[in-house]
Amino acid sequence: MSDNVVHVSTADFESTVLNSKEPVLVDFWAEWCGPCKMIAPALDELAVAYGGRAKIVKVNVDHERDLAVKYHVRSIPYLVVFKDGEKVGEQVGAVGKAQLAGLLDKALA
């Protein structure tokens, strides 16, 4: 896990994600999720590549059940892009770095 990917909780979700000036890719994940672990390196790389233009954060659905319910997380990994507090993109399941970058690029366009 790199220092570039921030872990957020219910307590700081609004300030970190919804009130962010730049787009935020939220990775809803869990420790036991194999596909979640598979995409973690790509998310770390994207956090560096998009530093200053977009943020990447993780929400552990086992620890933050309220957020998982609020955002209708039914399977993980569930990746959601927020821009100006609104959901502007989503991806269910593990995908490659290029597809994840595409979600961010759309939000930055």
* Band (2; pLDDT cuts 50, 70, 90): low
CA torsion sign for 59, 62, 86, 72 is positive
Length of the chain: 109
Averaged pLDDT for residues 13-20:
97
* Band (3; pLDDT cuts 50, 70, 90): confident
φ/ψ (deg, to 5) at 18: -70, -30
Q: Which of 5, 17, 33, 79 is catalytic?
A: 33
- The Cα–Cα gap between 34 and 12 comes to 26
Q: Which of 26, 36, 59, 73 is catalytic?
A: 36
Residue 1 scores a pLDDT above 90: no
Domain ranges of the chain: 6-108
pLDDT digits (tens, 9 = 90+) for 61-109: 999 999 999 999 999 999 999 999 999 999 999 999 999 999 999 999 9
Superfamily in which the 6-108 domain is placed by CATH:
Glutaredoxin (3.40.30.10)
* 33 is annotated as an active-site residue: yes
Looking at residue 28, what is its pLDDT? 98
Kindly give, in sequence order, each residue whose CB lies less than 8 Å from that of residue 46, ignoring residues fewer than 6 positions away: 25, 56, 97, 100, 101, 104
pTM for the model stands at 0.95
What is the SS3 assignment for 38? helix
